[in-house]
């Protein structure tokens, strides 16, 4: 092997293997509950603990979700599929083999589109998508001579999504993960929550001379528990490999662990790596036909994907690109937004600002997703309508939404209970206007001297005095009248 001379001549070649847990009620091959966070070994049965004599039976919803994901990623879906055994010994693998898919996965040859600079998109290939069962969890209590196994996770349906080695930088890997997660969440196949382990990622990286197709040894990096760590670990290992190659040394083909505390990758003990998985067709499961009708039904059932939505929000609804992107970033937000619009008679932009403002704030404050926020889309639409009609100020609208979320009242009830019906009565408002003028002689003088901004300060004072209930347009009009404009 000839060692490349200098770093600038090298480019990284990165591929990602992503595992997502499918959002089913029960496990892949048994009827145990698929649930995160239960007491250890609460959701186990003879099948997922690998008792002698039991057999796997495929969960049809897991198959459907896997196929939906494959379709959402633009994969070719075959007319039939089969399962294979991957054989290895580990205490979290009760049968001594994992039921997976080897040569006939659910999907082949898809892609994820990454939005690039200036509207250009970049296609990152998805080599394959396959279904397999998750392993259990092992704990290693510090200082003890034992490990502990919890099999609740054993048998949970997993979808493995293998990218083509198309990624060229850690930053691009990060963007791929964001886009992939978005698509999978849109397709409703998985929560994709890295903290709960429902999305996990391994990375492969090797370096090659720019323009060459000859790769140096490939390094696999495991234990990547956040998108940020994927990016950091890749950057670290690319630097490490570059240094080695620059010094004329070889990169070892190996598996490395990301060590978050030390911020570096370190090799796994090589003894554990002596693997020969001895894949062979799972004899307990015959081939599964994938009828064209099923594929068509699943395809028809897929929601509009993020890219298409983004385009529609900009083109048809006239939203600013940034707003549209923020809405389309997550299916729950986008769906919520569209349900507000569906209530009818509300301006797209105004609703967008409420969704991205008040609703997301509410969600973040309560640590829930948008679907967990207690503001019915119809109520939000009603509030937007009141604002549009001039019956509610923006400021008051925020309070109303917070009240709806807290109390479960309707929009009208919340407005009433907060006493926020807008003051549009000239005589009533005139009192506040006069008081504001009297209290701010400096602003009055500034305005008279030609400083238009001073008027805004006066409107603000009126709003403050009426605790936001004043109709700002009327207040402005009255102020102008008083100032003799």
Contact residues for other proteins, defined by CB under 8 A: 24-26, 30-33, 39-46, 49-63, 85, 87, 89, 91, 94-97, 138-140, 144-151, 257, 268-269, 274, 276, 278-281, 283-289
* Residue 250 binds: one of Zn ion, other proteins, none (C-beta under 5 to 8 A by kind): none
Cα distances from 449 to residues 200, 426, 444, 452, 453, in angstroms, run 64, 27, 9, 9, 11
* Nearest to other proteins of 137, 339 (CB atom): 137
> In b/e form, how buried is each residue of 393-426, taking b as 16+ CB within 10 angstroms?
beebbbbbbbbbbeeebebeebbeebebebbeee
Both tokens assigned to 193: 């929550």
Contact, 124 vs 163, CB < 8 A? yes
Nearer to Zn ion, 32 or 207 (CB): 32
For other proteins, the closer of residues 86 and 232 by Cβ is 86
Question: Both tokens of residue 164?
Answer: 């083509």
Shortest distance, position 50 Cβ to other proteins, whole Å: 4
Phi, psi of 339 (to 5 degrees): -70, -30
Is the Cβ–Cβ distance between 184 and 158 less than 8 Å? no
Element (H, E) at 264: strand 264-267
Residue written as tokens 């850690």?
Answer: 170
CB of 50 to Zn ion, least distance (A): 10
Residues that bind Zn ion (CB under 5 A): 30, 32, 45, 47-48
Helix or strand or coil: residue 96?
coil
Choose among Zn ion, other proteins, none what residue 366 binds, the Cβ cut-off being 5 to 8 Å by kind: none
Nearer CB in complex with other proteins: 35/304: 35
Report how far residue 98's alpha carbon sits from residue 87's, in angstroms, rounded to the nearest whole number.
6
Q: Which is nearer to other proteins, 31 or 445 (CB)?
A: 31
53 binds, among Zn ion, other proteins, none (CB under 5 to 8 A by kind): other proteins
Q: Which is nearer to other proteins, 91 or 315 (CB)?
A: 91
Distance CA 359, CA 382 (A): 14
Q: Nearer to other proteins by C-beta: 30 or 478? A: 30
Residues 6+ positions from 285 with CB-CB distance below 8 Å: 56, 58, 82, 83, 99
CB of 272 to Zn ion, least distance (A): 27
Q: Shortest approach of other proteins to residue 343 CB, angstroms?
A: 33
Q: Closest distance between Zn ion and the C-beta of residue 169, in Å?
A: 42
Q: Which is nearer to other proteins, 149 or 343 (CB)?
A: 149
Q: Which residue has the tokens 């633009």?
A: 74
Given the complex with other proteins, which of 47 and 251 has the nearer CB atom? 47
Q: C-beta of 218: minimal distance to other proteins in Å?
A: 18
Q: Which does 195 bind (CB under 5 to 8 A by kind): other proteins, Zn ion, none?
A: none
Strand runs (DSSP E) across 342-475, as ranges? Answer: none
Minimum separation from the CB atom of position 244 to other proteins (A): 24
Residue 139 site contact among other proteins, Zn ion, none (CB < 5 to 8 Å, cut-off depends on kind): other proteins
CB of 5 to other proteins, least distance (A): 36
Alpha-helical (H) ranges within 187-226 are none
CA torsion through residues 21, 25, 26, 32, sign: positive
Task: Answer with the entry of other proteins, Zn ion, none that 286 interacts with (C-beta below 5 to 8 A by kind).
Answer: other proteins
Output the smallest distance, CB 70 to other proteins, in A: 17
The entry of Zn ion, other proteins, none near residue 289 (CB within 5 to 8 angstroms by kind) is other proteins
Q: Measure CA of the first residue to CA of the last residue in the chain; give whole Å.
A: 84
């Amino acid at each position: 092997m000839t060692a490349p001379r200098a770093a600038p001549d090298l480019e990284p070649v990165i591929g990602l293997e992503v595992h997502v847990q499918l959002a089913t009620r029960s496990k892949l091959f048994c009827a145990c509950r698929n649930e995160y966070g239960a007491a250890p070994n609460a959701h186990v049965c003879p099948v997922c603990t690998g008792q002698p004599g039991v057999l796997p039976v495929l969960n049809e919803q897991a198959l459907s979700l896997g196929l939906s994901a494959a379709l959402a990623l633009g994969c070719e879906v075959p007319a039939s599929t089969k399962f294979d055994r991957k054989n290895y010994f580990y205490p979290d693998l009760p049968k001594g083999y994992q039921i997976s898919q080897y040569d006939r996965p659910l999907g082949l040859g898809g892609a994820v589109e990454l939005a690039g600079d200036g509207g250009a998109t970049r296609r990152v290939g998805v080599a394959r998508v396959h279904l397999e069962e998750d392993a259990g969890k092992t704990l290693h209590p510090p200082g003890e001579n034992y490990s502990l196994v919890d099999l609740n996770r054993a048998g949970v349906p997993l979808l493995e999504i293998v990218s083509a080695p198309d990624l060229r930088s850690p930053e691009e890997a990060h963007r791929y993960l964001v886009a992939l997660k978005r698509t999978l969440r849109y397709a409703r196949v998985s929560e994709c929550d890295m903290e709960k382990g429902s999305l996990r990622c391994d990375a492969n990286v090797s370096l090659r001379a720019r323009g060459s197709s000859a790769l140096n040894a490939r390094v696999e990096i495991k234990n990547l528990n956040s998108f940020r760590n994927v990016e950091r670990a890749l950057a670290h290992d690319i630097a490490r490999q570059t240094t080695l190659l620059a010094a004329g040394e070889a990169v070892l083909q190996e598996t490395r662990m990301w060590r978050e505390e030390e911020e570096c990758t370190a090799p796994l003990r090589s003894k554990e790596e002596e693997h020969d998985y001895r894949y062979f067709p799972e004899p307990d499961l015959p081939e599964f036909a994938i009828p064209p009708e099923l594929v068509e039904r699943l395809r028809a059932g897929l929601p509009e994907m993020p890219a298409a939505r983004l385009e529609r929000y900009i083109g048809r609804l006239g939203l600013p690109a940034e707003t549209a992107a923020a809405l389309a970033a997550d299916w729950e937000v986008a769906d919520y937004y569209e349900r507000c619009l569906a209530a009818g008679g509300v301006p797209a932009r105004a609703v967008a600002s409420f969704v991205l403002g008040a609703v997301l704030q509410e969600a973040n404050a309560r640590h829930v997703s948008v679907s967990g926020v207690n503001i019915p889309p119809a109520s939000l639409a009603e509030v937007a309508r009141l604002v549009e009609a001039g019956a509610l100020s923006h400021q008051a609208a925020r309070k109303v939404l917070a009240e709806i979320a807290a109390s479960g009242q309707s929009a009208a009830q919340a407005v009433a209970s907060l006493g926020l019906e807008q003051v549009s009565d000239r005589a009533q408002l005139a009192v506040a206007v006069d008081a504001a003028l009297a209290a701010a002689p400096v602003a009055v003088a500034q305005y008279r001297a030609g400083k238009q901004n001073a008027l805004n300060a006066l409107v603000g004072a009126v709003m403050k005095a009426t605790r936001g209930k004043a109709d700002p347009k009327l207040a402005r009009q009255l102020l102008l009248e008083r100032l003799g404009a």
